[in-house]
Amino acid sequence: MNSKDTLIKDIRIYRAVSKLSRPIADSTHALEEIAFYVLEVETQAGVVGQGYLLQFHYSAQAILGALKDMKKYVLAKEYHVYETAQVVKDYEIESEYFGIVGLQRWALATLNVAMWDAWARTLRQPVYRLFGCHRKPIPVYGSGGWISYTDEELVDEVVEYKRRGFTAVKIKVGSPDMERDIRRLNLCREALGRDVKIMMDANQGMDVPSAIKLVNQVEHLGIYWFEEPVINTDFEGYATIHAKTHVSLAMGEREYSTVALRELIGRRALDLWQPDLIRLGGVEAWRDSAALANAYNIPVLPHYYKDYDVPLLATVANPYGAESFDWIDAIIDEPMTIDHGFAIQREGNGWGFRFLHEFMTEA
């Protein structure tokens, strides 16, 4: 390999929309479409790596601007594709004036993921083999249960997950009418029986008293965990809910650092850590947060990015599972195989999949 082969030659930005795109809603957001930005990194040797971020319909021009600004900065320098930590360090300094937390970190993390893909493809290895890894199977759960669903749509979705071999599903709660949440959870339990776990996710849409009341009303259903019952900065609220109920609490998807993790550890108020690969800043930041969680025996249950999280979970000591959506499956070349509730690691180079260009438009 020539010493210059691994230099970043070009960065390309695309937008893609899921074939499953349709309006959906949780307790705090109405989502108009399921859309993504895809970043490609090409080396001097012609190796191409991809990374993507979930955009929905939000701030399309702001996110694109952040991606373009970062592209201009990186291409003006000579970075090797394996210099992921150096790029993060340099661009965090470059972005400090307006703040690296937020869109600029989303952009940086997407580049980081693409660089890891290109580097692993250069080495002709799956990403997870570049770290110490284990052979534990990674359980996945079926995610959805949107508040915008009718009762019939909700039951159809969870029953379909069970038919496909999933052993756990997650339902959205936080409706204006709590009785609707209770009815929907009961319908799911009735349809699924007792052999499928049910979790609930309020997407920060409740207050502490209502969260405690909901837990007490549905405890008999065997709720496996309660995700984001209240706003992510209400650390004392999490501690109160944890002390007054018997349900495991999960959070982490809104975090751009490990501050919330540290605060909740100190209050003994968290049972499951849910790092978001893109918000945290990429592979290194994700694994750093998992190491901190592991130091306090808190399992890792990442947010959304199954196709990256499953390989990364194979590199940490305390994997709990991954969240499964089918949103990108129809627009990539190698959808992840799930067998009886467990994800099968891809053995292809890099992350083991690519977005198909026929579904991508240049941004």
Residue with tokens 């319909």: 57
Question: Domain end: 80, 110, 125, which one?
Answer: 125
Classify the phi-psi angles of 340: left when phi > 0, otherwise alpha if psi is within -120 to 50, otherwise beta: left
Domain match, 266 and 142 both: yes
Under a CB-based contact definition with an 8 Å cutoff, are residues 322 and 313 in contact?
A: yes
Domain match, 148 and 286 both: yes
Q: What is the pLDDT of residue 23?
A: 87
Which two three-digit tokens encode residue 252?
A: 């982490």
Distance CA 126, CA 319 (A): 18
CATH code, 285? 3.20.20.120
Domain match, 220 and 327 both: yes
Domain match, 119 and 133 both: no
Domain match, 240 and 346 both: yes
Residue 360 lies in a domain: no
Q: What is the pLDDT of residue 136?
A: 84
Under a CB-based contact definition with an 8 Å cutoff, are residues 203 and 143 in contact?
A: no
Q: What is the pLDDT of residue 98?
A: 87
- Of residues 105, 49, 132, 130, the one with CA closest to residue 279: 105
Q: Cα 174 to chain center, whole Å?
A: 21
Domain match, 21 and 155 both: no
Q: Which one-letter amino acid corresponds to residue 104?
A: Q
> Up-side HSE of residue 43: CA atoms within 13 Å toward CB?
26
Domain match, 83 and 136 both: no
Residue 71 lies in a domain: yes
Per-residue pLDDT of the chain (363 residues; tens, 9 = 90+): 678 999 999 999 999 999 988 888 888 888 889 999 999 999 999 999 999 999 988 889 999 999 999 999 999 999 999 999 999 999 999 998 888 888 999 999 999 999 999 999 999 999 999 998 888 889 999 999 999 999 999 999 999 999 999 999 999 999 999 999 999 999 999 999 999 999 999 999 999 999 999 999 999 999 999 999 999 999 999 999 999 999 999 999 999 999 999 999 999 999 999 999 999 999 999 999 999 999 999 999 999 999 999 999 999 988 999 999 999 999 999 999 999 999 999 999 999 999 999 999 999
Domain match, 133 and 119 both: no
Under a CB-based contact definition with an 8 Å cutoff, are residues 302 and 140 in contact?
A: no
Distance CA 117, CA 124 (A): 10
Burial class (CB in 10 A: 0-12, 13-18, 19+), 360: buried
Domain match, 242 and 332 both: yes
3-state secondary structure the chain: CCCCCCEEEEEEEEEEECCCCCCEECCCCEECCCEEEEEEEEECCCCEEEEEEECCCCCHHHHHHHHHHHHHHHHCCCCECCCHHHHHHHHHHHCCCCCCCCHHHHHHHHHHHHHHHHHHHHHCCEHHHHCCCCCCCEEEEEECCCCCCCHHHHHHHHHHHHHCCCCEEEEECCCCCHHHHHHHHHHHHHHHCCCCEEEEECCCCCCHHHHHHHHHHHHHHCEEEEECCCCCCCHHHHHHHHHHCCCEEEECCCCCCCHHHHHHHHCCCCCEECCCHHHHCCHHHHHHHHHHHHHCCCCECCCCCHHHHHHHHCCCCCECCEEECCCCHHHECCCCCEECCEECCCCCCECCCCECHHHEEEC
**Containing domain of residue 279, as a range?**
129-350
Domain match, 247 and 181 both: yes
Question: Domain end: 110, 125, 140, which one?
Answer: 125
- 57 Cβ contact partners less than 8 Å away, ≥ 6 residues apart: 31, 32, 33, 35
Report the domain count for the chain. Answer: 2
Residue 177 lies in a domain: yes
Q: Cα 359 to chain center, whole Å?
A: 22
Which two three-digit tokens encode residue 91?
A: 């661009």
Domain match, 182 and 49 both: no
Q: What is the pLDDT of residue 31?
A: 87
Domain match, 190 and 325 both: yes
Residue 216: count of CB within 10 angstroms of its CB: 13
Q: Which residues pair with 184 in a beta bridge?
A: none
Q: What is the pLDDT of residue 37?
A: 98
